[in-house]
Amino acid sequence: MLRVEDLRFAHPGQAVPYQFSLLAHAGEVTSVSGASGSGKSTLLDLLGGFLLPISGEITLDHENLVPLPPEQRPLSLLLQSDSLFDHLSAASNIALGLPRQTSKAQAREQIAAALAEVGLDGLSGQQAATLSGGQKQRVALARTLLRARPILLLDEPFSALDDETRGVIRDLVRTLTIRHRWHTVLVSHHADDVEALASRRYVLRDGVLMAG
18-75 pLDDT per residue, tens:
999 999 999 999 999 998 888 999 999 999 999 999 999 999 999 999 999 999 999 9
Which domain, by its residues, includes 110?
87-147
Number of domains in the chain: 2
CATH code of 189's domain: 3.40.50.300
**Co-location of 96 and 121 in the same domain:** yes
What pLDDT, on a 0 to 100 scale, did the predictor assign at position 99? Answer: 82
Residue 82 included in any domain: no
Residues 155 and 143 in one domain: no
Same-domain pairing of 113 and 156: no
Give a yes or no: residue 80 inside a domain: no
Give the pLDDT confidence score for residue 40 in this predicted structure.
93
- In the chain, the amino acid numbered 184 is T
Q: Is pLDDT above 70 for 111? A: yes
115-145 in b/e form (b: 16+ CB < 10 A) is bebbebeebbeeebeebebbbbbbbbbbbbb
Could you tell me which residues are beta bridge partners of residue 8? 19, 55
Residue 181, Ramachandran bin (φ over 0: left; ψ between -120 and 50: alpha; else beta): left
Q: Could you tell me the pLDDT band of residue 157, with boundaries at 50, 70 and 90?
A: confident
Average pLDDT over residues 124-145: 90
How far is residue 73's CA from residue 37's CA, in Å, rounded to a whole number?
Answer: 25
Coil, helix or strand at residue 57: strand
